[in-house]
Amino acid sequence: MKKSVISIVLCAILLFTLSIAVSSASEDLATEAAGKTLLIDKVKQDSIVGTGSFANEEAKNLFDDDPGTKFCTNIFPAVVTWEMDKAYVVGGVVICTANDNASYPGRNPATWILYGSNDGTNYTKIYEGSAADLDDVNFTYYLFTFNNSSSYTHYKLEIPGPESGTVMQISEFILVEGSSTGKTPPADYPSSGLKPAKGDIILGTIIGNEVGWGGNANAGAHAAFDGDVVTFFDPLGIGDGYAGIDAGAKYILTQIVIHPRDGFLDRYYGAEIQGSNDMENWTTLFFAEDAAAEWDWQVITEDMIQNNTGYRYFRYYNEIMHGDVGEVELYGYKVEETAATDATASATEESEPAAEAPVATAPATADMMSVAIFSVALAGAIGFVSYKKRRSL
């Protein structure tokens, strides 16, 4: 009996400690999202479309920066779609509970799913949350961050139903800009000195992983475009992450130059340069069939590039080996230029690409981690007490 009592007490203490460690909600948005770039004013208000709601409690209230208003509905699944003023990489969201969640417990979403799209029709799942993320309290902000390196112009929130009962409500749903993009190559990039006769270095915004293996901030996507062959991009795993460039317009490639990571020449095998125009569907333009013979620049000429029809987004990706790389340089010209017309026609006349250059789909970029919901029950005169903790990544 004594051992049982001690076990229960220790369990309760442990659960209390854990709940304190993971709690991170605030009644103040600036406190909860300190240091984050919020995209509240980037939503096109006239693009917001949502499931039917109670009077004056429509979906547009999610984006008015006013916790005193809310989106409240009893129609499920509840779906809200909207468009941004341009494409953004979203690395988190802030949800605020409504005015009377404490009085009406169970109105938080049972689950909620965020999707992204670049055409408003085809959506990719970015992140999924659950009722355990939110407490039955009023006017409280909760920040959730996650791994995502893809930018989208359109977003969708889907809520299958409330935690309990028949009514669901939240007051704010704020997108948080991710920090994995936005960087550009430095002035000393490129550094190979191997500019082709046709085409120029393609510069733009770096896309891909913010950090590398083991959370190394120095081994993110930017390390493949810094002009330094000693630094390197180190993905999170095989087929898990990439380093790329948003060129801002469609380009035809005329040359690819890659420098492997020192000491890992075998990881050049399986390296792919892929192109995309929506960051969802990726086409392989080059596939490395062997490991690098030496620690030096690997030059891929235009005749070795397949499916070269013009893309805005390019990435270095490897789903066979771990995929480390020292430097990546892409050369080419805009599709709109006169020379691009000839290059496109020539590409059409080429034979079918080799079997080693398959059309690939984007790897999952959302790193979904689950944290169990702890609960403890103490029966007796003091009644029943339950604890619900918030999940965070």
pLDDT reported for residue 287: 97
pLDDT at 2 over 50: no
Task: Encode pLDDT of 107-134 as tens digits.
Answer: 999 999 999 998 899 999 999 998 788 9
Residue 93 tokens read as 């969201």
Question: For residue 235, is the peptide bond before it cis, meaning its omega torsion is within 30 degrees of 0?
Answer: no
Residue ranges covered by each domain of the chain: 23-177, 200-361
Whole-angstrom distance, CA of residue 158 vs CA of residue 392: 19
pLDDT reported for residue 331: 98
The structure tokens 């970029």 sit at: 365
Number of helical (H) and strand (E) elements in the chain, helices listed first: 3, 18
Residue 284 and residue 306 in contact, taking contact as beta carbons nearer than 8 Å: yes
- The listed CATH number (3.40.50.300, 2.60.120.260, 3.40.462.20, 3.90.1150.10) that belongs to domain 23-177: 2.60.120.260
Q: 23-177 and 200-361 share one CATH topology?
A: yes
Band of residue 380 on the pLDDT scale cut at 50, 70, 90: very low
Band of residue 337 on the pLDDT scale cut at 50, 70, 90: low
Task: Encode pLDDT of 8-29 as tens digits.
Answer: 444 444 343 333 333 368 999 9
pLDDT reported for residue 133: 86
Band of residue 146 on the pLDDT scale cut at 50, 70, 90: confident
User: How is 118-145 classified by DSSP, letter by letter?
Assistant: SSSSS-EEEEEEEGGG--S-SS-EEEEE
Task: Encode pLDDT of 281-306 as tens digits.
Answer: 899 999 999 999 999 999 999 999 99
CATH number corresponding to 200-361: 2.60.120.260
pLDDT reported for residue 182: 57
* pLDDT mean across residues, the chain: 82
> Facing residues of 282 across strands?
360
Sequence-ordered strand ranges (E) for the chain:
49-50, 71-73, 78-96, 111-117, 124-130, 141-145, 151-159, 168-170, 172-177, 200-201, 205-208, 243-259, 271-276, 281-287, 298-301, 311-318, 327-334, 359-361
pLDDT reported for residue 281: 87
Residue 153 tokens read as 């112009």
Note the pTM of the prediction, 2 decimals: 0.48
3-state secondary structure of 266: helix
pLDDT at 357 over 50: no
Whole-angstrom distance, CA of residue 339 vs CA of residue 53: 54
Task: Encode pLDDT of 173-228 as tens digits.
Answer: 999 987 544 578 899 999 999 999 999 999 988 988 877 888 788 898 999 999 99
